[in-house]
Amino acid sequence: MKLYYSPGTCSLSPHIALKESGLAFEAIAAPTKTHQLPDGTDYYTINPLGYVPLLVLDDGTQLREGPAIVQYIADQVPATRLAPANGTFERYKLQEWLNFISTELHKSFSPLFTPGMPEEAKTIVKTRLNSRLQWVDGELGKAPYLMGDTFTVADGYLFVVAGWCKHVGIDSSAWANLGAFMARVGARPAVQAALRAEGLLK
């Protein structure tokens, strides 16, 4: 398998999932600014949409969109418990979390990284994000991970997205449960390995 990623972006989520899974894969940097691969290839020739993540299986089949990719990875190694079994109610709860992180958090951060975005618009977005993250903080007060006592791919995704707070001027220090979660997930060997591979941890 090949994972196309750009350091520190949402593609860090499937990178973490792959490290947690123990599956063999090749990570290929596809910087979102240049769209040029290390060998000089134009990334658009591989993924016409130009964004990451992109998972390419050994037979050439492609899978886009982080929430779909991390579930595929988890299902290849059920024993890791990175995702509950398909067809169970718990699996739908996992999908609920993945959808929430994707639509309510991930996409809300996007305008804050957009050059030229008016400050008034950024203030509106930050207010919305603060309310959502405060709710997440409350949920994390009930258990160490989003799904209870077990780390899942949803936790990896939240770790990546919540980690963007420090880059866009959102003060997360008041959310003690979220802070503890970030430290807990950040200490996992597989997470540290993914961060190190992307040059985000020395």
> What's the pLDDT tens digit per position in 163-174?
999 999 999 999
Number of H helices, E strands in the chain: 9, 4
Give the pLDDT score at 130: 97
How many residues would you count in the chain? Answer: 202
Beta strands 2-5; 26-29: pairing state: parallel
Which residues of the chain form CATH 3.40.30.10? 2-81+190-197
CATH 1.20.1050.10 holds for 89-188: yes
Within 13 Å of residue 62, how many CA atoms lie on the same side as its CB? 10
Give the pLDDT score at 175: 98
Give the pLDDT score at 202: 77
Reported as a single tens digit per residue, the pLDDT across 13-39 is 999 999 999 999 999 999 999 999 999
In the predicted structure, residue 60 carries a pLDDT above the cut 80: yes
- CATH code for residues 2-81+190-197: 3.40.30.10
What average pLDDT does the chain have?
97
pLDDT cut 90: percent of the chain above it: 99
Give the pLDDT score at 140: 98
| Closest C-alpha to 129, from 152, 103, 154 | 103
Which residues of the chain form CATH 1.20.1050.10? 89-188
Give the pLDDT score at 95: 98
Give the pLDDT score at 16: 98
Reported as a single tens digit per residue, the pLDDT across 108-161 is 999 999 999 999 999 999 999 999 999 999 999 999 999 999 999 999 999 999
| Closest C-alpha to 9, from 179, 202, 152, 199 | 199
Helices of type H across 22-88? 66-76
Average pLDDT over residues 66-74: 98
